[in-house]
Structure 1
Amino acid sequence: MKKIQYLTIAALTVATLALPITTLAADGGEYTSNGAITFEPNDAPTKPVDPTNPVNPIDPVDPTDPNGPNPGTNGPLSIDYASSLDFGTQKITSTDEVYKAKAQKYLDSTNTEKTGPNFVQVTDNRGVETGWNLQVKQTGQFKTADDEELTGAAITFNNGNVVTASTSAKPAGKTTINLAPNNSLTDVMTATDGQGAGTYLLAWGSDASTGAESIELFVPGATTKYVKQYTTTFNWVLADTPTTADPIQ
Protein backbone atom coordinates (compact mmCIF):
# COMPACT_ATOMS: atom_id res chain seq x y z
CA MET A 1 0.00 0.00 0.00
CA LYS A 2 2.78 2.38 0.80
CA LYS A 3 4.47 1.76 -2.53
CA ILE A 4 1.38 2.35 -4.62
CA GLN A 5 0.49 5.51 -2.73
CA TYR A 6 3.94 6.89 -3.34
CA LEU A 7 3.82 6.24 -7.06
CA THR A 8 0.41 7.85 -7.38
CA ILE A 9 1.57 11.06 -5.75
CA ALA A 10 4.61 11.22 -7.99
CA ALA A 11 2.52 10.86 -11.11
CA LEU A 12 0.22 13.65 -10.07
CA THR A 13 3.18 15.95 -9.45
CA VAL A 14 4.62 15.37 -12.88
CA ALA A 15 1.26 15.93 -14.54
CA THR A 16 0.80 19.24 -12.74
CA LEU A 17 4.17 20.56 -13.86
CA ALA A 18 3.32 19.74 -17.44
CA LEU A 19 0.26 22.03 -17.57
CA PRO A 20 0.63 25.17 -19.79
CA ILE A 21 1.02 28.61 -17.93
CA THR A 22 -1.64 31.27 -18.84
CA THR A 23 -0.85 35.11 -18.32
CA LEU A 24 -3.89 37.34 -17.47
CA ALA A 25 -4.17 41.05 -18.52
CA ALA A 26 -3.86 43.58 -15.60
CA ASP A 27 -7.02 45.43 -14.43
CA GLY A 28 -7.21 49.36 -14.29
CA GLY A 29 -5.56 51.95 -16.58
CA GLU A 30 -5.52 55.74 -16.95
CA TYR A 31 -8.09 58.23 -18.31
CA THR A 32 -8.08 62.03 -18.69
CA SER A 33 -11.08 64.34 -18.17
CA ASN A 34 -11.31 68.16 -18.12
CA GLY A 35 -12.38 71.03 -15.87
CA ALA A 36 -13.19 74.61 -16.92
CA ILE A 37 -14.50 77.91 -15.55
CA THR A 38 -15.01 81.20 -17.36
CA PHE A 39 -15.29 84.56 -15.63
CA GLU A 40 -17.09 87.67 -16.82
CA PRO A 41 -17.22 91.26 -15.51
CA ASN A 42 -19.54 91.78 -12.54
CA ASP A 43 -21.94 94.75 -12.79
CA ALA A 44 -23.56 94.25 -9.37
CA PRO A 45 -22.83 96.85 -6.66
CA THR A 46 -20.19 95.89 -4.08
CA LYS A 47 -20.96 96.37 -0.38
CA PRO A 48 -18.62 98.47 1.73
CA VAL A 49 -16.18 96.41 3.80
CA ASP A 50 -14.60 96.87 7.21
CA PRO A 51 -11.66 99.32 6.95
CA THR A 52 -9.88 97.42 9.72
CA ASN A 53 -10.63 93.93 8.31
CA PRO A 54 -11.57 94.17 4.63
CA VAL A 55 -12.89 90.63 4.26
CA ASN A 56 -16.01 91.55 6.26
CA PRO A 57 -18.96 93.44 4.67
CA ILE A 58 -20.49 96.28 6.73
CA ASP A 59 -23.33 98.78 6.76
CA PRO A 60 -21.82 102.26 7.29
CA VAL A 61 -23.67 104.95 9.23
CA ASP A 62 -23.89 108.38 7.58
CA PRO A 63 -23.49 110.96 10.39
CA THR A 64 -24.93 113.73 8.20
CA ASP A 65 -28.02 111.97 6.86
CA PRO A 66 -30.28 109.49 8.73
CA ASN A 67 -31.48 108.18 5.35
CA GLY A 68 -27.96 107.69 4.03
CA PRO A 69 -25.50 106.73 2.91
CA ASN A 70 -25.93 107.02 -0.84
CA PRO A 71 -25.65 103.69 -2.68
CA GLY A 72 -22.44 102.92 -4.52
CA THR A 73 -22.13 103.15 -8.27
CA ASN A 74 -22.76 100.11 -10.45
CA GLY A 75 -19.78 98.00 -11.54
CA PRO A 76 -17.73 96.45 -12.84
CA LEU A 77 -15.53 99.47 -11.98
CA SER A 78 -17.26 101.22 -9.10
CA ILE A 79 -17.08 103.63 -6.20
CA ASP A 80 -18.70 101.60 -3.44
CA TYR A 81 -18.66 104.13 -0.61
CA ALA A 82 -17.13 107.36 0.67
CA SER A 83 -17.45 108.53 4.27
CA SER A 84 -19.38 111.69 5.06
CA LEU A 85 -17.53 113.91 7.52
CA ASP A 86 -18.94 115.15 10.81
CA PHE A 87 -16.88 117.83 12.59
CA GLY A 88 -19.38 118.06 15.42
CA THR A 89 -20.79 121.14 17.20
CA GLN A 90 -18.13 123.67 18.16
CA LYS A 91 -17.92 126.86 20.24
CA ILE A 92 -17.47 130.11 18.30
CA THR A 93 -14.00 131.60 18.87
CA SER A 94 -11.95 134.44 17.41
CA THR A 95 -8.77 132.32 17.24
CA ASP A 96 -7.62 129.93 14.52
CA GLU A 97 -8.99 126.47 15.21
CA VAL A 98 -8.52 122.94 13.87
CA TYR A 99 -11.46 120.56 14.25
CA LYS A 100 -11.28 116.78 13.77
CA ALA A 101 -13.83 114.69 11.87
CA LYS A 102 -15.42 111.94 13.95
CA ALA A 103 -14.43 108.36 13.11
CA GLN A 104 -16.65 106.21 10.88
CA LYS A 105 -19.40 104.22 12.62
CA TYR A 106 -20.75 101.06 11.00
CA LEU A 107 -22.68 97.86 11.68
CA ASP A 108 -20.91 94.54 11.15
CA SER A 109 -22.50 91.30 9.91
CA THR A 110 -23.92 90.61 13.39
CA ASN A 111 -25.49 94.10 13.52
CA THR A 112 -22.97 95.18 16.16
CA GLU A 113 -21.94 98.84 16.02
CA LYS A 114 -18.23 99.43 15.53
CA THR A 115 -16.01 102.42 14.84
CA GLY A 116 -13.08 102.70 12.44
CA PRO A 117 -11.33 105.17 10.17
CA ASN A 118 -13.18 107.15 7.51
CA PHE A 119 -12.55 105.73 4.05
CA VAL A 120 -13.36 105.64 0.35
CA GLN A 121 -13.79 102.28 -1.39
CA VAL A 122 -13.27 101.27 -5.04
CA THR A 123 -13.90 97.88 -6.68
CA ASP A 124 -12.53 96.71 -10.03
CA ASN A 125 -14.36 93.57 -11.19
CA ARG A 126 -13.55 94.02 -14.89
CA GLY A 127 -11.00 91.19 -14.89
CA VAL A 128 -8.40 93.05 -16.95
CA GLU A 129 -5.98 94.81 -14.52
CA THR A 130 -5.59 97.79 -16.84
CA GLY A 131 -5.63 100.39 -14.06
CA TRP A 132 -7.91 103.19 -12.87
CA ASN A 133 -7.73 106.55 -11.12
CA LEU A 134 -9.82 107.98 -8.26
CA GLN A 135 -10.04 111.73 -7.66
CA VAL A 136 -12.05 114.03 -5.39
CA LYS A 137 -13.10 117.64 -5.36
CA GLN A 138 -14.83 119.82 -2.80
CA THR A 139 -17.65 121.39 -4.75
CA GLY A 140 -17.69 124.61 -2.75
CA GLN A 141 -16.92 126.23 0.57
CA PHE A 142 -18.87 125.39 3.73
CA LYS A 143 -22.04 127.48 3.71
CA THR A 144 -25.23 127.90 5.70
CA ALA A 145 -28.68 127.38 4.22
CA ASP A 146 -28.74 131.16 3.85
CA ASP A 147 -25.56 131.07 1.71
CA GLU A 148 -23.27 132.46 4.43
CA GLU A 149 -19.74 131.22 3.79
CA LEU A 150 -17.17 129.87 6.23
CA THR A 151 -14.43 131.91 4.60
CA GLY A 152 -10.94 130.41 4.63
CA ALA A 153 -11.98 126.99 5.91
CA ALA A 154 -9.81 124.14 4.58
CA ILE A 155 -9.90 120.35 4.92
CA THR A 156 -6.85 118.07 5.15
CA PHE A 157 -6.97 114.26 4.96
CA ASN A 158 -3.98 112.69 6.79
CA ASN A 159 -2.60 109.19 7.40
CA GLY A 160 -3.99 107.75 4.17
CA ASN A 161 -3.24 104.05 3.68
CA VAL A 162 -4.49 101.47 1.18
CA VAL A 163 -6.42 98.55 2.73
CA THR A 164 -7.35 95.39 0.79
CA ALA A 165 -7.81 91.63 0.96
CA SER A 166 -6.96 91.31 -2.75
CA THR A 167 -3.81 89.59 -4.01
CA SER A 168 -3.53 91.93 -7.00
CA ALA A 169 -0.78 94.55 -6.69
CA LYS A 170 -1.87 97.51 -4.56
CA PRO A 171 -2.70 100.86 -6.15
CA ALA A 172 -0.89 103.92 -4.84
CA GLY A 173 -2.84 105.96 -2.31
CA LYS A 174 -2.19 109.58 -1.43
CA THR A 175 -0.96 109.90 2.15
CA THR A 176 -2.11 113.52 2.56
CA ILE A 177 -4.85 115.34 0.65
CA ASN A 178 -5.29 119.09 0.93
CA LEU A 179 -8.66 120.16 -0.42
CA ALA A 180 -9.52 123.63 -1.63
CA PRO A 181 -13.16 124.61 -2.26
CA ASN A 182 -12.37 125.69 -5.82
CA ASN A 183 -13.97 122.77 -7.61
CA SER A 184 -10.62 121.31 -8.80
CA LEU A 185 -9.94 117.55 -8.80
CA THR A 186 -7.25 116.04 -6.59
CA ASP A 187 -5.76 112.54 -7.01
CA VAL A 188 -6.72 110.08 -4.27
CA MET A 189 -5.75 106.57 -5.41
CA THR A 190 -4.24 105.31 -8.69
CA ALA A 191 -3.83 101.78 -10.05
CA THR A 192 -1.47 101.43 -13.00
CA ASP A 193 -1.35 98.51 -15.46
CA GLY A 194 -1.16 95.23 -13.55
CA GLN A 195 -2.63 96.67 -10.34
CA GLY A 196 -5.92 97.19 -8.59
CA ALA A 197 -8.10 94.16 -9.39
CA GLY A 198 -10.54 93.60 -6.53
CA THR A 199 -11.70 95.89 -3.72
CA TYR A 200 -9.51 98.66 -2.27
CA LEU A 201 -10.03 101.21 0.48
CA LEU A 202 -8.07 104.35 1.15
CA ALA A 203 -8.54 104.72 4.90
CA TRP A 204 -7.49 107.79 6.88
CA GLY A 205 -6.05 106.17 9.98
CA SER A 206 -5.77 102.51 10.91
CA ASP A 207 -8.35 102.19 13.70
CA ALA A 208 -10.99 104.15 15.59
CA SER A 209 -8.42 106.13 17.57
CA THR A 210 -6.23 107.25 14.66
CA GLY A 211 -9.32 107.62 12.48
CA ALA A 212 -10.71 110.25 14.85
CA GLU A 213 -7.48 112.30 14.49
CA SER A 214 -6.77 112.02 10.77
CA ILE A 215 -9.17 114.44 9.01
CA GLU A 216 -8.90 118.10 9.97
CA LEU A 217 -10.92 121.23 9.28
CA PHE A 218 -9.02 124.48 9.70
CA VAL A 219 -11.17 127.57 10.38
CA PRO A 220 -9.54 131.02 10.68
CA GLY A 221 -10.30 132.99 13.82
CA ALA A 222 -11.06 136.08 11.73
CA THR A 223 -13.90 134.34 9.89
CA THR A 224 -17.41 135.40 10.91
CA LYS A 225 -19.34 132.45 12.30
CA TYR A 226 -23.09 132.28 12.81
CA VAL A 227 -25.03 129.99 15.13
CA LYS A 228 -26.01 127.78 12.21
CA GLN A 229 -24.97 124.60 10.49
CA TYR A 230 -22.45 124.88 7.65
CA THR A 231 -22.25 122.16 4.99
CA THR A 232 -20.31 121.25 1.88
CA THR A 233 -20.18 118.30 -0.55
CA PHE A 234 -17.43 116.17 -2.07
CA ASN A 235 -17.53 114.73 -5.57
CA TRP A 236 -15.58 111.48 -6.05
CA VAL A 237 -14.64 110.71 -9.66
CA LEU A 238 -13.41 107.29 -10.87
CA ALA A 239 -11.90 106.94 -14.35
CA ASP A 240 -11.02 103.66 -16.09
CA THR A 241 -7.65 105.01 -17.25
CA PRO A 242 -4.97 106.07 -14.74
CA THR A 243 -3.78 109.65 -15.16
CA THR A 244 -0.16 108.82 -14.39
CA ALA A 245 2.22 105.90 -14.51
CA ASP A 246 4.03 107.16 -11.39
CA PRO A 247 2.82 106.40 -7.85
CA ILE A 248 1.09 109.37 -6.28
CA GLN A 249 2.43 110.76 -3.01
Structure 2
Amino acid sequence: MSTALLPTTVDAAEYTSNGAITFEADPNPTNPVDPTDPEKPVDPVDPTDPDGPNPGTPGPLSIDFASSFQFGNQLITSETKDYYAQLQEFTAGAAGPNYVQVTDKRGTQEGWSLSVVQNGQFKTADDEELVGASLSIASGAATSVTDMQYAPTVTASHTFVPDSEITLVNAPVGKGMGTWIYKFGNDATEGSTAVKLNVPGSSVKLAKEYRTTLTWNLKNVPESN
Protein backbone atom coordinates (compact mmCIF):
# COMPACT_ATOMS: atom_id res chain seq x y z
CA MET A 1 0.00 0.00 0.00
CA SER A 2 1.38 3.35 -1.11
CA THR A 3 2.00 5.96 1.53
CA ALA A 4 2.40 8.83 -1.01
CA LEU A 5 0.65 12.04 0.09
CA LEU A 6 -1.95 13.61 -2.21
CA PRO A 7 -1.12 17.19 -3.24
CA THR A 8 -3.06 19.92 -1.43
CA THR A 9 -5.19 22.15 -3.76
CA VAL A 10 -4.59 25.84 -3.15
CA ASP A 11 -6.05 28.81 -5.12
CA ALA A 12 -3.16 30.16 -7.11
CA ALA A 13 -4.99 33.25 -8.41
CA GLU A 14 -8.33 35.04 -8.41
CA TYR A 15 -9.82 37.14 -11.23
CA THR A 16 -13.13 39.01 -11.50
CA SER A 17 -15.09 39.35 -14.75
CA ASN A 18 -18.41 41.12 -15.33
CA GLY A 19 -21.90 40.61 -16.72
CA ALA A 20 -23.89 43.61 -17.91
CA ILE A 21 -27.03 44.58 -19.83
CA THR A 22 -28.38 48.04 -20.60
CA PHE A 23 -31.99 48.78 -21.51
CA GLU A 24 -33.18 51.81 -23.46
CA ALA A 25 -36.55 53.29 -24.37
CA ASP A 26 -38.33 51.39 -27.14
CA PRO A 27 -39.95 53.67 -29.75
CA ASN A 28 -41.49 50.81 -31.75
CA PRO A 29 -45.30 50.45 -31.82
CA THR A 30 -46.96 48.02 -29.43
CA ASN A 31 -49.71 45.87 -30.91
CA PRO A 32 -53.08 45.35 -29.19
CA VAL A 33 -53.50 42.40 -26.84
CA ASP A 34 -56.53 40.51 -25.56
CA PRO A 35 -58.14 42.42 -22.64
CA THR A 36 -58.86 39.13 -20.85
CA ASP A 37 -55.49 37.53 -21.66
CA PRO A 38 -52.78 40.22 -22.00
CA GLU A 39 -50.18 37.72 -23.22
CA LYS A 40 -52.27 37.03 -26.34
CA PRO A 41 -51.94 39.40 -29.34
CA VAL A 42 -55.17 40.25 -31.16
CA ASP A 43 -56.39 42.15 -34.21
CA PRO A 44 -59.37 44.29 -33.11
CA VAL A 45 -62.28 45.20 -35.38
CA ASP A 46 -63.74 48.72 -35.44
CA PRO A 47 -67.54 48.23 -35.50
CA THR A 48 -68.12 51.85 -36.59
CA ASP A 49 -65.60 52.01 -39.46
CA PRO A 50 -64.73 49.22 -41.94
CA ASP A 51 -61.38 50.94 -42.57
CA GLY A 52 -60.52 51.11 -38.87
CA PRO A 53 -59.32 50.94 -36.23
CA ASN A 54 -56.86 53.81 -36.19
CA PRO A 55 -53.23 52.77 -35.65
CA GLY A 56 -51.67 53.22 -32.24
CA THR A 57 -49.70 56.34 -31.44
CA PRO A 58 -45.90 56.31 -31.91
CA GLY A 59 -43.17 56.49 -29.28
CA PRO A 60 -42.22 54.72 -26.05
CA LEU A 61 -45.31 56.12 -24.27
CA SER A 62 -48.29 55.25 -26.42
CA ILE A 63 -52.00 54.64 -26.77
CA ASP A 64 -51.99 51.35 -28.64
CA PHE A 65 -55.74 50.96 -29.11
CA ALA A 66 -59.11 52.28 -27.97
CA SER A 67 -62.43 50.59 -28.68
CA SER A 68 -65.15 52.38 -30.62
CA PHE A 69 -68.64 51.96 -29.18
CA GLN A 70 -71.35 50.59 -31.50
CA PHE A 71 -74.89 50.65 -30.10
CA GLY A 72 -76.47 49.05 -33.15
CA ASN A 73 -79.74 49.67 -34.98
CA GLN A 74 -82.64 50.48 -32.67
CA LEU A 75 -86.36 51.09 -33.09
CA ILE A 76 -87.66 54.62 -32.57
CA THR A 77 -89.53 54.87 -29.28
CA SER A 78 -90.96 57.49 -26.93
CA GLU A 79 -89.75 55.49 -23.93
CA THR A 80 -86.51 56.23 -22.09
CA LYS A 81 -84.13 53.42 -23.01
CA ASP A 82 -80.68 52.10 -22.15
CA TYR A 83 -78.64 50.77 -25.07
CA TYR A 84 -75.46 48.77 -24.58
CA ALA A 85 -72.36 48.86 -26.77
CA GLN A 86 -71.48 45.70 -28.65
CA LEU A 87 -68.49 43.75 -27.36
CA GLN A 88 -65.06 44.34 -28.85
CA GLU A 89 -64.68 41.83 -31.67
CA PHE A 90 -61.43 40.48 -33.10
CA THR A 91 -60.68 39.23 -36.61
CA ALA A 92 -60.09 35.73 -35.24
CA GLY A 93 -63.77 35.61 -34.32
CA ALA A 94 -63.66 36.00 -30.55
CA ALA A 95 -65.05 38.96 -28.58
CA GLY A 96 -64.33 40.57 -25.24
CA PRO A 97 -64.94 43.72 -23.22
CA ASN A 98 -64.28 47.10 -24.78
CA TYR A 99 -60.97 48.57 -23.67
CA VAL A 100 -58.14 51.08 -24.01
CA GLN A 101 -54.50 49.95 -24.11
CA VAL A 102 -51.55 52.10 -22.97
CA THR A 103 -47.85 51.16 -23.05
CA ASP A 104 -44.98 52.82 -21.19
CA LYS A 105 -41.59 51.67 -22.50
CA ARG A 106 -39.65 54.79 -21.46
CA GLY A 107 -37.87 53.07 -18.58
CA THR A 108 -38.04 56.18 -16.39
CA GLN A 109 -40.85 55.35 -13.91
CA GLU A 110 -42.13 58.92 -14.30
CA GLY A 111 -45.79 57.90 -14.44
CA TRP A 112 -48.51 59.07 -16.82
CA SER A 113 -52.21 59.87 -17.03
CA LEU A 114 -54.97 59.08 -19.53
CA SER A 115 -57.92 61.40 -20.01
CA VAL A 116 -60.83 61.45 -22.43
CA VAL A 117 -63.33 63.94 -23.78
CA GLN A 118 -66.58 63.26 -25.60
CA ASN A 119 -66.56 65.73 -28.46
CA GLY A 120 -70.11 67.00 -28.35
CA GLN A 121 -73.45 65.26 -28.20
CA PHE A 122 -74.48 62.43 -30.54
CA LYS A 123 -75.54 64.10 -33.82
CA THR A 124 -76.59 63.20 -37.34
CA ALA A 125 -74.52 64.16 -40.37
CA ASP A 126 -76.91 67.13 -40.68
CA ASP A 127 -76.02 68.28 -37.14
CA GLU A 128 -79.31 67.18 -35.59
CA GLU A 129 -78.69 66.42 -31.92
CA LEU A 130 -79.86 63.44 -29.86
CA VAL A 131 -80.90 65.70 -27.01
CA GLY A 132 -80.21 64.43 -23.51
CA ALA A 133 -78.39 61.25 -24.56
CA SER A 134 -75.92 60.16 -21.88
CA LEU A 135 -72.89 57.90 -22.44
CA SER A 136 -71.44 56.02 -19.47
CA ILE A 137 -68.90 53.32 -18.65
CA ALA A 138 -68.85 50.86 -15.76
CA SER A 139 -66.79 47.97 -14.36
CA GLY A 140 -63.53 49.70 -15.27
CA ALA A 141 -60.45 47.70 -14.28
CA ALA A 142 -56.73 47.48 -15.08
CA THR A 143 -54.91 44.34 -16.14
CA SER A 144 -51.43 43.52 -17.46
CA VAL A 145 -48.70 40.90 -17.59
CA THR A 146 -46.75 43.34 -15.42
CA ASP A 147 -46.90 42.73 -11.66
CA MET A 148 -50.10 44.30 -10.31
CA GLN A 149 -48.15 46.19 -7.64
CA TYR A 150 -47.30 48.59 -10.49
CA ALA A 151 -50.92 49.02 -11.61
CA PRO A 152 -52.23 52.52 -12.34
CA THR A 153 -55.32 53.82 -10.57
CA VAL A 154 -58.45 53.59 -12.72
CA THR A 155 -61.94 55.05 -12.60
CA ALA A 156 -64.43 52.21 -12.19
CA SER A 157 -67.44 54.09 -13.56
CA HIS A 158 -68.10 57.44 -15.21
CA THR A 159 -70.89 59.29 -16.99
CA PHE A 160 -69.61 61.54 -19.75
CA VAL A 161 -70.45 65.22 -19.99
CA PRO A 162 -70.02 66.33 -23.62
CA ASP A 163 -66.96 68.54 -24.18
CA SER A 164 -65.72 67.98 -20.61
CA GLU A 165 -62.32 66.25 -20.21
CA ILE A 166 -61.88 63.73 -17.40
CA THR A 167 -58.85 61.70 -16.27
CA LEU A 168 -59.83 58.04 -16.09
CA VAL A 169 -56.44 56.37 -15.54
CA ASN A 170 -53.56 57.73 -13.45
CA ALA A 171 -50.15 56.11 -13.00
CA PRO A 172 -48.20 57.87 -10.22
CA VAL A 173 -44.40 57.94 -10.20
CA GLY A 174 -43.16 54.35 -9.99
CA LYS A 175 -46.37 52.90 -11.50
CA GLY A 176 -47.71 52.06 -14.95
CA MET A 177 -44.60 50.59 -16.56
CA GLY A 178 -45.23 48.12 -19.37
CA THR A 179 -48.50 47.52 -21.24
CA TRP A 180 -51.75 48.16 -19.37
CA ILE A 181 -55.33 47.38 -20.35
CA TYR A 182 -58.16 49.60 -19.08
CA LYS A 183 -61.13 47.34 -19.74
CA PHE A 184 -64.84 47.85 -19.19
CA GLY A 185 -65.82 44.52 -17.67
CA ASN A 186 -63.63 41.61 -16.61
CA ASP A 187 -65.04 39.31 -19.27
CA ALA A 188 -67.51 39.23 -22.16
CA THR A 189 -70.50 38.72 -19.87
CA GLU A 190 -69.72 41.72 -17.67
CA GLY A 191 -68.53 43.74 -20.65
CA SER A 192 -71.84 43.31 -22.49
CA THR A 193 -73.51 45.86 -20.19
CA ALA A 194 -70.50 47.99 -19.18
CA VAL A 195 -70.79 50.70 -21.86
CA LYS A 196 -74.23 52.28 -21.91
CA LEU A 197 -76.07 54.97 -23.85
CA ASN A 198 -79.17 56.31 -22.11
CA VAL A 199 -81.61 58.10 -24.40
CA PRO A 200 -84.61 59.96 -22.92
CA GLY A 201 -88.06 59.21 -24.26
CA SER A 202 -88.56 62.95 -24.74
CA SER A 203 -85.67 63.16 -27.21
CA VAL A 204 -86.75 63.40 -30.85
CA LYS A 205 -85.26 60.49 -32.80
CA LEU A 206 -84.91 60.70 -36.57
CA ALA A 207 -84.46 57.64 -38.78
CA LYS A 208 -80.76 58.43 -39.17
CA GLU A 209 -77.41 57.47 -37.68
CA TYR A 210 -76.20 59.57 -34.74
CA ARG A 211 -72.48 59.78 -33.94
CA THR A 212 -70.00 61.35 -31.57
CA THR A 213 -66.24 60.97 -31.14
CA LEU A 214 -64.05 60.37 -28.11
CA THR A 215 -60.55 61.84 -27.89
CA TRP A 216 -58.16 59.97 -25.58
CA ASN A 217 -55.23 62.05 -24.32
CA LEU A 218 -52.11 60.45 -22.84
CA LYS A 219 -49.92 62.79 -20.79
CA ASN A 220 -46.31 61.97 -19.90
CA VAL A 221 -46.74 62.89 -16.23
CA PRO A 222 -49.29 61.69 -13.66
CA GLU A 223 -52.17 63.85 -12.58
CA SER A 224 -51.38 65.60 -9.31
CA ASN A 225 -53.75 64.94 -6.44
Question: d(CA) in 2 for partners of 1:212 and 1:193?
Answer: 33
1:170 and 2:151 aligned: yes
Structure 1 unaligned regions, length at least 5: 1-15
Cα displacement (A) at 1:23: 7.3
Q: How far does residue 244 in structure 1 lie from its aligned partner after superposition?
A: 2.4
Deviations 1:14-56 (A, max 9, x none): xx99xxx787574987643221111110111111110001011
The 8 Å contact of residues 136 and 185 in structure 1, kept in 2 or not, is answered as yes
Partner of 1:10: none
- Residue 157 (str. 1) matches residue 137 (str. 2): yes
CA RMSD of aligned residues (A): 1.9
Q: Tell me the number of residue pairs that the alignment of Structure 1 and Structure 2 aligns.
A: 222
Paired with 2:224 and 2:78, the residues of 1 have a C-alpha distance of 43
* Bigger Cα Rg: 1
Length-normalised TM-score, structure 2? 0.93
Higher helix share: 1
Tell me the SS of whatever aligns to 1:113.
Answer: coil
1:88 aligns with 2:72: yes
Aligned residues: percent identity? 47
Q: C-alpha separation between the residues in 2 aligned to 1:171 and 1:134?
A: 10
| Aligned AA (2:168) | V
SS in 1 for 2:127: coil
Which one has more relative contact order, counting CA pairs under 8 Å at least 6 apart?
2
CA distance in 1, matches of 2:182, 2:59: 18
Partners of 2:116 and 2:215 in 1: CA distance = 6
The unaligned stretches of length 5 or more in structure 2 are: none
Residue 241 of structure 1 is matched in structure 2 by 221
- The 2-side partners of 1:180 and 1:26 are apart by 80
Residue from 59, 62, 66 that aligns with 2:50: 66
User: Which sits farther off after the overlay, 121-130 or 22-31?
Assistant: 22-31
Distance 1:164 1:244 in 2: 24
Supply the distance in 2 between the matched residues of 1:114 and 1:27 (Cα, whole angstroms).
Answer: 66
Matched with 1:218 is: 198
* Within-5 A mapping of 1:29-108: 31-107=15-91
Q: Give the Cα separation in 2 of the matches to 1:51 and 1:159.
A: 13
SS of residue matched to 2:189: helix
Q: Distance in 2 between matches of 1:38 and 1:44?
A: 17
